Chains A and B, each alone.
Chain A
Amino acid sequence: MARFRGLTLTAGLAVLGVLALTFAPALGQTPKYGGSLNVMLREDLAQGFAIHESSTISTVWPASPCFNNLVLFDPGKPVESADTIIGELAEKWSWQDNYRNLVFFLRKGVKWHDGKPFTSKDVKFTFDMLREAPDAQAKLRINPRKDWYANVEAIEVPDPYTVAFRLRRPQPSFLVMLASGYTPVYAAHVPPASYRTGCIGTGPFKVKEWRKGEFVEYMKNPDYFVKGRPYLDGLRYVVIAERGTRTAAIQAGRLDVSFPGETSKTIAEQLKQAVPQLVITPVGTTVNDNIIMNVKKPPFDNVKVRLAVSYAIDRRALIQAVHGGGAVVGASLAPKPYGVWGLAEKNLLALPGYGKPEDMKARARKLLAEAGITPQNPLRVEMATRAIAIYVDMASFVINELKQVGIEATLKQIETAQWHAMATRGDYQIGANLTGLGVDDPDGNFYENYGCGSPRNYSQYCNEQLMKMVDQQSQELNPAKRLALVYAIQRTLEEDAARPMLDWRLDYFTVWPHVKNLVPHHNIYNFGRLQEVWRDK
């Protein structure tokens, strides 16, 4: 544990060092109360405030100020890990019975926005609903993260301020998933469906008005259980669908804060040139570009063809051409300093697609030849992708790379409404895809995206041996051993070309200098509470 903590701490300190200059003024100043902030939203709230029925930053970011979790990643620390978790509704917690029981001791005197008291019943209500326990008091319309709670056997509430999660097997990652922005506690006395239209939370801000398609406005929660918080009187999340207008709005000062994951390196450079005083912080997003290949259908049922695709794509050239340098290479978990579990660049060199581009392409041609694909008998495929620019740009680059090794791919754009459903059904040959991880955690990623039969395992790749390793790492209590297992799993995934990773996108999170103490995390989903943020103007 100590070694693991040391490793995390080193990574954390490195990032903090980079950010130190950016946040130096905020750290040295006394916070001020009052004022409000205008915050960017790229589209209206997808499912209202119903975070548990949504998997998009367009819900989590604007809905987070309304809620609290049991535990949360420390808002002041950009790198997220088990070591940066702090209590929120839980005052303290304790792992018991060799990581089989997780007991939370809740804060007293916490009130919902409608004045009713918060108790352990609310916690049981929420997590029974999420894991779809037979005796759950409510059911969600859709429940995208049910798998996160698959290991929960029972939830016990011995008294109004104690909750015990009984797990089927040890799972250290369980606490990490509870700290995600996707894990707020709902009120037991409020129907879950009502969160699609309004919000009764315990959070630092109360919803004042939601003008559909236009803005969401919050006011300070005067009864917030953290004394002296929030600093701000209010927040206004302004929906601006057009990217050019969004950029102009932040440049002109109509907005104080950008949208997580929205500012590319190119835009950041333009903004900095126009308004030098803007504070721009490069952070990871835990969103990666990847190639999905349907392993159930020819030709990608042949691992040689899949590997040829992986070898053919020059990741570093893609990062320059498509992202203007605003991304980093990595395997299936985000690399340091943006994540805790990812393979470092030096460890990637031996994997498909990371060597010298000409060598990699030669290797790809050789593999294709072995699979019977030659210039005389070229492979013709449809490259499916979601019909939005960030997907299409990447897909176009990949098509060009594949052409150089003899794969003739044509672009097939799929409308957003159909993209995920199509990918889950496996109605495609090869696709250019983006995957976002709610938490930087092996359990949160491997089961969802590589698990046999998982609906989000778009490639339909199934390796039982690998899944045993995934189960093993999930319950491994020795951090060093677990990290080694996680590394091995990532290598296997790349060597099998299960879902070749191309890059991890970076965000250039932008705020005006009067916005203080807003520390962007290397994960876009988990720093939206904003209770520590203040305005120096």
Chain B
Amino acid sequence: MVGEALESPPHAVWGLPVKTYIAQRLAIALLTLFGMSLVIFLLLRLAPGDIVDVLFSTGGYVRPEERVAIMKELGLDKPIWAQYVEWLRQILTGDLGKSYRYDLPAWQIVKPLIPVTVELAILSTVFAVLLGVPTGVVSAVRQDTTLDYVLRVFSLAGLSMPSFWLGMVIILGLVAWLGWIPPVTYVPPGENFRLHAIQFLLPALAVGYRSSALMTRITRSAVLEVMREDYIRTAWAKGQSGRVVIWRHALKNAMLPVITVIGIEFAFLIGGLVVTETVFNLPGVARFLVQAILWRDYPIVQNLVMFIAIVVILSNLLVDMLYGWLDPRVRYGE
């Protein structure tokens, strides 16, 4: 199939150049973000309780007049639509508001969390790809052999084990056998790179293993499908080596679904690392987001969820662009 354009590719149906296509995707992304902002805003306010109720819990008691004063101070006495418009105005002017809990600009609090989560998500994804893709290829090439069965059990185990459980097992195992655990406060790479690497390696391993299991299975089935294609048979008939046939011809064409999974997994990890960040005590976005939700700290929650939404949309966009690189039919759409 490589080099051929026998049918109209999915992204070329509009017959639009890539630039227009990207512009369209960006427009859809903006629309999605707008929709997301509405949903986040309304869901937060539909949840029972507010920041004053939380202060009630930590303070022991909040008198009615104190409640009124706090609601006014935080602008929560205004109509919901006015609060929403105010938030949109803040976003457009680059002001993310002020954390109710910390009484500090939201951006000042959110900013240091982002690199931690992004680094962990990237490391986990890299680990998942490095482990999952070759395992899937080997499993497909050695279909129904003992090695295939072993690798399938290995990947099934990864899918069955929640990463937070694996994380906790790692922590408990380390402390029980070695009397040691990774640092419990964030070590910046510039301060001590070795400790930093250790701190991120273990959670990346715990999270990456689960993702790698998914990639193994997707890669295996995609490679198996491609291996039955005529052009692979042709490649074999031309006398090309197994390595060339598998890694250049088969894998490249089998990568489309794998790329999709990588994109989805990466996007999921940005917001889905809650428990792993909690277990390994990493100060990331997801762990902080949960605390902010419990505190009804609307500015922090709204902005963090929007950040996650942007990452999801951008990673989807990236995946779409990678399609063009991998699949010539998309390029022909130009």
Contacts and interface: CB of A to CB of B under 8 A. Distances in A.
- Report, nearest first, the 9 A-B pairs whose CB atoms are least far apart: A55-B60, A417-B49, A46-B58, A144-B60, A248-B175, A214-B283, A252-B181, A144-B59, A142-B59
Contact of B279 (A211, A239, A244): A244
B278 interface: yes
B21 interface: no
A131 to B, nearest CB: 14
A254 interface: yes
A257 interface: no
B296 interface: yes
A305 B54 CA distance: 32
Nearest to A436: B60
A405 to B, nearest CB: 32
A274 B176 contact: yes
Interface in B157-195: 168, 171-172, 174-176, 179-181, 183-186
B57 A245 contact: no
A524 B181 CA distance: 28
Q: How large is the interface on A (under 10, 10 to 19, 20 to 34, 35 or more residues)?
A: 35 or more
Interface stretch (B62-70, B126-134, B307-315): B62-70
A214 B171 contact: no
A213 B283 contact: yes
A252 B60 CA distance: 35
12 contacts: A48-B103, A58-B58, A197-B104, A211-B283, A212-B102, A241-B281, A245-B279, A249-B181, A254-B183, A254-B184, A415-B48, A417-B54
A69 B59 CA distance: 20
Interface in A501-530: none
Nearest to B164: A242
Interface stretch (B3-11, B117-125, B245-253, B286-294): B286-294
B112 interface: yes
A418 to B, nearest CB: 5
Given A55-B59, A254-B181, A417 B279 contact: no
A44 B56 contact: no
A422 B328 CA distance: 62
A54 B172 contact: no
Interface in A224-255: 236, 238-242, 244-245, 248-249, 251-255
A44 B168 CA distance: 21
B53 interface: yes
B184 A418 contact: no
B53 A417 contact: yes
A75 B257 CA distance: 64
B179 A240 contact: no
B305 interface: no
B179 A141 contact: no
B49 A418 contact: yes
Contacts of B184: 238, 240, 245, 249, 254-255
Interface residues of B, number: 48
Contacts of A84: none
Contact of A420 (B60, B109, B180): B60
Contacts of A242: 168, 278-279, 281
A240 B102 CA distance: 18
B280 interface: yes
Contact of B57 (A59, A249, A252, A419): A419
Interface in A413-439: 415-421, 424
B53 A251 contact: no
Given A54-B59, A197-B104, A241-B287, A141 B70 contact: yes
A56 interface: yes
Interface in A364-384: none
Which among A145, A241, A274, A424 has the highest number of chain B CB atoms within 10 Å? A241
B289 to A, nearest CB: 10
A314 interface: no
Contact of B175 (A197, A213, A239, A251): A251
B61 interface: yes
Contacts of B61: 55, 142, 144, 420, 424, 455-456
Interface in B26-83: 48-50, 53-63, 66, 69-70, 73
Interface in A243-284: 244-245, 248-249, 251-255, 274-275
Contacts of A43: 291
A421 B56 contact: yes
Given A141-B69, A238-B185, A420-B60, A244 B283 contact: no
Interface in A43-102: 43-44, 46-48, 53-56, 58-59
B296 A55 contact: no
B58 A59 contact: yes
Contacts of B103: 48, 193, 196-197
Contacts of A416: 54, 57, 294
Interface string A120-147: 0000000000000000000001111100
A212 B70 contact: no
A205 interface: no
Interface string B96-114: 0000001110000100110
Interface in A193-213: 193, 196-197, 211-213
Nearest to B57: A420
Contact of B66 (A143, A238, A274): A143
B131 to A, nearest CB: 25
